[in-house]
């Protein structure tokens, strides 16, 4: 199925659909997220049976500050789709999709760890890359731009790049 055919096929299901650079993107709400993914996976003509990735972005100046993108692929049809859902800064929650795509387990944990988006109903919502006691979420745009303070065993400390002395 070509991207143009995919747009035509998905048009009635989504209010917000775009085609750019040969990539199809649809936007849904968090309330309809799981329902939409079940439909996309179960539709025999679409057959989005593979979750390639889950990623997140931070747009501080937007009403829906955080966006989670689900990158889907149809193994048989060889077509791709990006499904996005936005959430406001004061309620950073999205339902988990681990019941639909079990492989989302670690992907959702990474988005939680790096961006702070919580996936409601996730079987093991805890940090995956950083220590449990880490303060903050490194991919948020309000984190220090120069890096993060790094404490090493034995007392060694490396300050963020923007705080180092340059000679």
pLDDT of residue 92: 96
Mean pLDDT of the chain: 90
Give the tens place of pLDDT for each residue, 39-78. 999 999 999 999 999 999 999 999 999 999 999 999 999 9
Model confidence at 156, pLDDT cuts 50, 70, 90, reads low
The residue extents of the domains of the chain are 3-129
Look-up of token digits 């199925």: 1
Topology of 3-129 in CATH?
Beta Polymerase; domain 2 (3.30.460)
Q: In percent, how much of the chain has pLDDT > 90?
A: 74
- Predicted structure pTM score: 0.85
Model confidence at 146, pLDDT cuts 50, 70, 90, reads low
pLDDT of residue 48: 96
d(Cα 45, Cα 43) in Å, to the nearest integer?
6
Among the listed residues 131, 26, 137, the one whose alpha carbon sits nearest the alpha carbon of residue 85: 26
Residue 34 reports pLDDT greater than 80 = yes
d(Cα 119, Cα 30) in Å, to the nearest integer?
11
């Amino acid at each position: 199925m070509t991207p143009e055919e995919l747009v035509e096929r998905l048009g009635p299901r989504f209010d917000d659909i775009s085609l750019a650079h040969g990539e199809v993107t649809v936007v849904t709400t968090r309330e309809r997220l799981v329902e939409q993914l079940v439909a996309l996976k179960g539709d025999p003509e679409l057959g989005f049976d593979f979750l390639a990735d889950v990623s997140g972005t931070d747009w501080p100046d937007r009403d829906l500050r955080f966006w989670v993108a689900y990158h889907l692929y149809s193994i048989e049809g060889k077509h791709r789709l990006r499904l996005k859902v936005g959430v406001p800064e004061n309620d950073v929650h999205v339902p988990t999709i681990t019941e639909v795509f079990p492989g989302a387990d670690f992907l959702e944990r990474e988005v939680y760890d790096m961006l702070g988006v919580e996936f409601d109903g996730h079987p093991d919502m805890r940090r995956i890359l950083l220590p449990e006691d880490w303060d903050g979420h490194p991919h948020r745009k309000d984190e220090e731009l120069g890096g993060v303070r790094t404490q090493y065993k034995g007392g060694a400390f490396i300050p963020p790049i923007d705080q180092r002395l340059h000679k």
